[in-house]
Amino acid sequence: MSTDLVSVDIGGTHARFAIATVDEDGTITLGKPETLHTEDHASFQTAWEDFRQRMGGSLPPRISMAIAGPVGGEVIRFTNNPWIIRPALVREKLGVENYCIVNDFEAVAHAVARAPDDQFLHLTGPDRSLTPDGTISVLGPGTGLGVAHLWRSGGDYRVQATEGGHIDFAPLDTIEDAILARLRKRHNRVSIERVVSGPAIVDIYQTLAAMENRKTRDEDDIAIWTRAMEDQESLAAAALDRFCLSLGSVAGDIALAQGGFGGVVIAGGLGYRLREYLPKSGFASRFRAKGRFAELMAGIPVKLITHPQPGLFGAAAAFARNFR
């Protein structure tokens, strides 16, 4: 017998909903996603009611939520969103029988564990499947830098969410020295997500401009990313190349720290948008550039997950695992 549930992926700007079906053999099918703007709703409960109305007035009595932020404690607060969720009241407020709450990148790691091979794009290393037995590292740039890992053994797996995006940034050349110096003027401690995240492209771009004594205007990261990806400006393209280099370095460091020798997966919305750029960039060489461990790094398959909704898919997978 299959099980229906509502899968939800909640970030700072959007809350995505979908009806998910888990078949007896564990196969997960997602219905058409609905995307709501968090700023248009006073609370998660009112967003839930909006989605319920869109679905004809009734929903399955089960929900799994992937949340951008820490998920422990009596009150869950979002990193970039004024909503709060009190887990003890979820059943009463939403009218559900069972619920599951996971960190958003924990959900992505569940998606990595369950997604078929054809939903991964090969980036570097041996062109083989992710390990069926061992550790797989998962990271992805977005508003911040999400990091998790999963461990497979005997056909089963376990996921561990982490705060790996907040380890210290380690520059490898004079340009990265300059980026670090710029960031140190505002932050006493510079973490890797200050350099490897969507907003970080602004500091990378402005550092490169300063090296060439170019004047820059005040603009957000979206404008720079747009020029870079559409190849409208050489300096923006150089910032994109530098971002890919840093992402490769960080991915290699995470693999070393977690023992992710069974594979590394790049995820996140920005990671997906970079799918055409990473294979052509210095990402691979930086991933391998770990001194005496270069040969070890060259033996790790590195993939990019191409599932269109890994957060929703992973939230459903987390529910299936917790209530199996």
Residues 261-283: pLDDT tens digits?
999 999 988 999 999 999 999 99
Shortest CA distance to 299 belongs to which of 134, 143, 58?
Answer: 134
Judged against a pLDDT cut of 80, whether residue 59 lies above it is answered with yes
| CATH code linked to domain 164-305 | 3.40.367.20
56 in a labelled binding site: no
Q: What is the CA radius of gyration of the chain?
A: 20
Residues 155-167: pLDDT tens digits?
899 999 898 999 9
| CATH code linked to domain 3-103+309-322 | 3.30.420.40
Max CA separation in the chain (angstroms): 66
Provide the whole-model pTM.
0.91
pLDDT for 94 equals 96
Shortest CA distance to 206 belongs to which of 240, 232, 230, 182?
Answer: 182
Judged against a pLDDT cut of 90, whether residue 324 lies above it is answered with no
* Location of structure tokens 């990378």: 204
CA 50, 55, 60: angle at the middle one, nearest 5? 100
Which H or E run contains 162? Answer: none
Judged against a pLDDT cut of 90, whether residue 227 lies above it is answered with yes
11 in a labelled binding site: yes
Distance from the Cα of residue 186 to its chain's centroid:
25
262 in a labelled binding site: no
Is residue 209 very low, low, confident or very high in pLDDT (cuts 50, 70, 90)?
Answer: very high
For residues 212-241, average pLDDT: 94
Shortest CA distance to 50 belongs to which of 15, 81, 10, 87?
Answer: 15
Residue spans of the domains in the chain: they are 3-103+309-322, 164-305
User: Is residue 277 packed enough to be buried (19+ CB in 10 Å), middle (13-18) or exposed (0-12)?
Assistant: middle
* Location of structure tokens 């820059």: 216
9 in a labelled binding site: yes
